[in-house]
Amino acid sequence: MAKTNPPRRVIYKLRSAFPTEWRGEHSGVEHAGQFVARDQAEWKQLWDAAHSNMYPIPKAPKLPRDKMAVAIFHGQTNDSVTLCISNVQAEPRKTVVEFEADTRAVLSTAQREPFLLKYIDRTPHKVEFRQRPASSRPAQSIAPRNPPF
């Protein structure tokens, strides 16, 4: 009798079910700033600040061992702002995070506080933020500050 092979199992590679980026328009953080979280306690502070307008505040996901988190808060605005990280580049003594803020004027009086949280690869070096220009103005370097909360 001929031997038959069992049916093949097809396994599809799915996008990560584990999110690595969160963004929104209402964070409750009124002042612009860029921050780095290297451990779970710092990550929880950033997460809670970004979700301070929600009740109840969702539980912060666990910070992966080989990652750290960066947070970009745009501050209060009436415009619709989309934040995105365009490049993360490791340099000899620092890691540079380049981001863009795409602003669209909206006919609304609602206050928005756009934010972006993202996991990046862990590094022992200093992290520097650079906002890429939306127009022809030169990019500015921004050093991370202590969180305002």
pTM recorded for the entire structure: 0.75
Strand order in the sheet with 67-73: 21-24, 115-121, 67-73, 33-37
Q: What is the pLDDT of residues 84-119, one digit of tens each?
A: 999 999 998 999 999 999 888 776 777 888 999 999
Both structure tokens of 112? 């928005």
Asked whether the beta carbons of 143 and 45 are under 8 A apart, the reply is: no
The model's confidence at residue 138, banded by pLDDT at 50, 70 and 90, is very low
DSSP state of 69: E
Gap between the Cα atoms of 47 and 144, Å rounded:
16
Instruction: Note the pLDDT tens digit of each residue in 21-52.
Output: 998 888 888 899 999 999 999 999 999 999 98
Contacts of 133 (CB under 8 A, 6+ apart): 139
